Chains A and B, each alone.
Chain A
Amino acid sequence: MASTEIDTGLNPQQPITWFTDRKGVAYGVNGINRGIRWDGFASSVGQLGVTAPSTAPTITPDTGGAASAGDYDCAYRYVARDLEGDVYSNFSAVATVTMTANQEFNWSAMDAPTEARVTHVQLWRTTVGQTNVYYFVEEIAKASLGSHVDQNSDATLIANDDDEIMKLRRHNGEVVANRFVLPPQNRPYGVMFQDRAWYFGSVRLKAVTTTDGDTTVVMVGDYVPATADIAGWHMAIDGEPITYTVVSVSGGPGSSTITLDTACTTSATTVGTLYPPLATHRKLMYSEADEVESVPAANEVTLQDNIGDDQHITGGVPWGATLYVFCERSKYAVSFVRQPAVDASVRLIDKRGAFNNKCIATFEDSIYAMDDQGCYSYNIRGGGSGSTRSVSLSGPIQDQWRDGVIDFSASDNFFVEVDRSAEQVRFWVQMGDGVSDRCFTWNVRRETWDHERYEAPADNGFRGSCQTKLTASGLSQKPRSLIAGSFGRIFCREGNTDVMSQIETATCEASSGTGCTLTDCSAWAGWSTRSYIGATILFEETGQTAVIKTATVSTNKLIITYAETISPVPAATATVQVGVIPWSWTSRRLPVFTPDDTPGGDAQNKRAVQVLYTPFSGAHDTLNLRFFENYSSTPMMFTRGANFTSGIQVSELTLDNHATESLYSDTIHIDLDVDRFSSDVEANGFLELVLSGKFVGGGESLRFVTVEMSGFQGDDKIILHELNFVGFSK
């Protein structure tokens, strides 16, 4: 892969949240590790903020200077001279020195910077007899840090430029010189809101944990954070009567020993949860104006609990003059004018929230989000206020939330994807199989729902999306949505086939329920073995499908294993198409005409289904029909191989056989090929399937029919214009 690695070693249990300031620098936080920053040029990221030196300087008075007689305070700080501007540390500890008149200050014993981004060290001191106003003395390149002589008089320093004079505190107690506090490390979400960076939320890290009746517990996992990251965090252990505080961590990966402040009471293997102190979990920290990396401890706004439910913050999105902060089942609006400490306001909006930070996305003038109640939009500029702007979208598919279809235990993996050019919002979920490969697609303009399943990239599916444009030559630079998932793969929607750029065909040389060996594929099997993972294989003779889990290229053969075992085993010489997209559409339950609702309905003498489609010259696309009578889940059966008319034939595929009647089939094939006639006449895209059956009043006769369309899309796009039902009422 021609991407470039710019950082390693982050804890992957919480994905990085990125935001960008107006200088174009990207900042990332995950609530576990120290935050990072990247300017788009450097070969690797830098750490967020600059750690202050701890040791006070040694000041040795000597003759030869211009000091006044009295006490002086001296300190130094680090400077990271970045392309986008300087970033400072707080002052070191202060050294107070008593000078006599006309002495000089000899500075020494200053801590050498250990952080790579630090380039310089600045010396600052007060004038005689005061402790609040510091004056810039000298800036020293990092490599030249040693002893330095300061022979300046107070009058010289007082004449400094304004930006070389700095107070320790303002009159109201706010810190100035020491405002360069590192952003909080335990906040997983960060946004740029107006001229400040805001950090909020908290993580919870769960894993199997074994207690042994003492102060040490063993937590399973490759990514238990280090002592430096979680000392002082809390640990709740199932079965223990109290919550403990983490003292230190050792060992790992695989398992780590965590030392707690108090001995556990049990000896058991259970579940432990690590989390930062709860006192901070509803506090939003904000930076100084235009100083993303300066977050003094006093810069905080608390989300007061206004609904009796102390929920965790799960994400946030800034929009205009408001920062929308989401909890699991509620959201708040935070706004300020100039100084949050003075004029910030927090307002409860409504009781709709978000599963996580990736379940919040914006499109046009609305926020789209997903919580345990379903999918909804929040119109930023709509009429009314608060909850009146929230509109539930998932009503038509609410059974998916209500009836246990969706696996909420996997909600950390859910996300919302916006596709700007297609004007669609996709809500990605898991349905109990551990794979995030399904989404419900909201068509914004038409206000309708589709359901999509993407087998690629296989394994555990997709984990996130973003908007961008492809820039390689020959490709449209329209805005696109990218989705990222297993095996580091990133996909865009392009063409009519999945994973493969076109349908590829081959013949099996060997076959089993778990895989096959393809031959006759030398023209296309020379790619990376990774190229095929997630592609759907269609076995032409049976109509079976399988999804490729692994593929190995061996002397122009492709040895494939399937994601799931298939049965029956396809023939050893089966022919396959690789890259098809399976699809289906099931109609409402259509009522036939009856005399009860239509005078003369029993005189209806024709019942038929008409399909209007766009014909094409493709060989790999299929459209099948199945019909279900009344409330039956077993499809209607037709004589195998029978032709209704040219282009409509009852399937002869074995797998389409009726469950108990081998002479009959469930499935009717419709040929979409423009050349399906043997004559020169091209198909006009209209096919009619005439069904038997006439309403018989009072009997156990046909009352309803459900139509299922399905098939596989190959190189040509399947487009249906109309589906007409003759002999059915609305």
Chain B
Amino acid sequence: MRDAPIIGEPLRVRDWNGILSDADYQDLPPGAAQWSKNTSCRKPGLLEVRQGLLEVTFDGDSQVTSETNHCIGISTYSHHSGDMILFQLDDGSIRVGRDLGVIS
């Protein structure tokens, strides 16, 4: 049952409650969304667009990869000398990357 409104008093959505798609859209909490794409309600009180993606490079490389095969798996290898990234390509090879950066 809906609360009785005060005429002229706006319905304020300050608390963003994310997606609630499996419900009657008339009964959702005010801050809930029927659907959304690329928004984030991680921080209380804010609705933000998600962060972007940047490609990771290794060993100070200034170029993104020219690899043609696809990654099928990735894992962190916590070695005594520091973290490394082990990743497998769909040609059956395994590669290791160190000193991670991004193209700026």
Which residues of A does B touch, CB under 8 Å? 1-12, 15-16, 18, 20, 24, 26, 28, 36, 38, 40, 45, 223, 358, 395-400, 402, 422-424, 440-441, 443, 445-446, 448-454, 456, 459-460, 463-472, 474-475, 482-499, 501, 527-528, 530-531, 534, 579, 581-591, 593, 597-601, 603-604, 606, 608, 610, 704, 706, 713, 717-726, 728-730
In contact, A454 and B53 (Cβ under 8 angstroms) = yes
B4 to chain A, nearest CB (A): 6
Known A-B contacts A16-B73, A463-B70, A528-B66; A589 and B49 likewise in contact (beta carbons under 8 Å): no
B1 to chain A, nearest CB (A): 8
Chain B residues positioned under 8 Å from A491 (CB to CB): 53-56
In contact, B56 and A490 (Cβ under 8 angstroms) = yes
In contact, B81 and A40 (Cβ under 8 angstroms) = yes
> Which residues 77-104 of B have a CB within 8 angstroms of A?
77-104
Chain A residues positioned under 8 Å from B103 (CB to CB): 501, 527, 531
Q: How far is the CA of A726 from the CA of B65 in the complex (A)?
A: 52
Known A-B contacts A450-B36, A585-B33; A4 and B5 likewise in contact (beta carbons under 8 Å): no
In contact, B64 and A723 (Cβ under 8 angstroms) = no
In contact, B18 and A588 (Cβ under 8 angstroms) = no
Q: Which residue of B lies closest to A472 (CB)?
A: B101
A290 to chain B, nearest CB (A): 18
In contact, B41 and A448 (Cβ under 8 angstroms) = yes
A592 to chain B, nearest CB (A): 10
Contact partner of A722 (CB less than 8 A), chosen from B14, B28, B60, B76, is: B14
Q: How far is the CA of A136 from the CA of B17 in the complex (A)?
A: 70
In contact, B19 and A490 (Cβ under 8 angstroms) = no
Chain B residues positioned under 8 Å from A534 (CB to CB): 53
In contact, B57 and A589 (Cβ under 8 angstroms) = no
Q: How far is the CA of A149 from the CA of B16 in the complex (A)?
A: 82
In contact, A16 and B88 (Cβ under 8 angstroms) = yes
Q: How far is the CA of A145 from the CA of B46 in the complex (A)?
A: 72
Band of interface residues on B? 35 or more
Contact partner of A583 (CB less than 8 A), chosen from B13, B37, B86, is: B37
Chief secondary structure at chain B's binding surface: loop
Contact partner of B19 (CB less than 8 A), chosen from A450, A499, A610, is: A450
A326 to chain B, nearest CB (A): 17
B97 to chain A, nearest CB (A): 4
Q: How far is the CA of A725 from the CA of B8 in the complex (A)?
A: 10
Q: How far is the CA of A465 from the CA of B104 in the complex (A)?
A: 22
Known A-B contacts A721-B46, A723-B13, A730-B5; A451 and B36 likewise in contact (beta carbons under 8 Å): yes
B102 to chain A, nearest CB (A): 6
Known A-B contacts A490-B85, A730-B5; A584 and B42 likewise in contact (beta carbons under 8 Å): no
In contact, A472 and B100 (Cβ under 8 angstroms) = yes
Q: Which residue of A lies closest to B40 (CB)?
A: A450
Ordered by A's residue number, 10 sampled pairs between the chains whose C-beta atoms are within 8 Å are A16-B75, A18-B86, A38-B96, A397-B22, A402-B22, A456-B55, A468-B85, A482-B100, A492-B102, A588-B34
Q: Most chain-A CB neighbours within 10 Å: which of B35, B61, B67, B72?
A: B72
Q: Which residue of A lies closest to B68 (CB)?
A: A487
In contact, B14 and A493 (Cβ under 8 angstroms) = no
In contact, A443 and B18 (Cβ under 8 angstroms) = yes
In contact, A487 and B50 (Cβ under 8 angstroms) = no
Contact partner of B102 (CB less than 8 A), chosen from A468, A472, A488, is: A472
In contact, A720 and B53 (Cβ under 8 angstroms) = no
A442 to chain B, nearest CB (A): 9
In contact, A4 and B48 (Cβ under 8 angstroms) = no
Q: How far is the CA of A726 from the CA of B9 in the complex (A)?
A: 6
In contact, A530 and B66 (Cβ under 8 angstroms) = yes
In contact, A600 and B64 (Cβ under 8 angstroms) = no
Known A-B contacts A530-B66, A598-B5, A725-B10; A493 and B51 likewise in contact (beta carbons under 8 Å): yes
Q: Which residue of A lies closest to B97 (CB)?
A: A3
Q: How far is the CA of A489 from the CA of B66 in the complex (A)?
A: 9
In contact, A493 and B48 (Cβ under 8 angstroms) = no
Q: Which residue of B lies closest to A466 (CB)?
A: B76
Chain B residues positioned under 8 Å from A451 (CB to CB): 19, 35-38
Chain B residues positioned under 8 Å from A399 (CB to CB): 21-22
In contact, A585 and B47 (Cβ under 8 angstroms) = yes
Chain A residues positioned under 8 Å from B12 (CB to CB): 722, 724
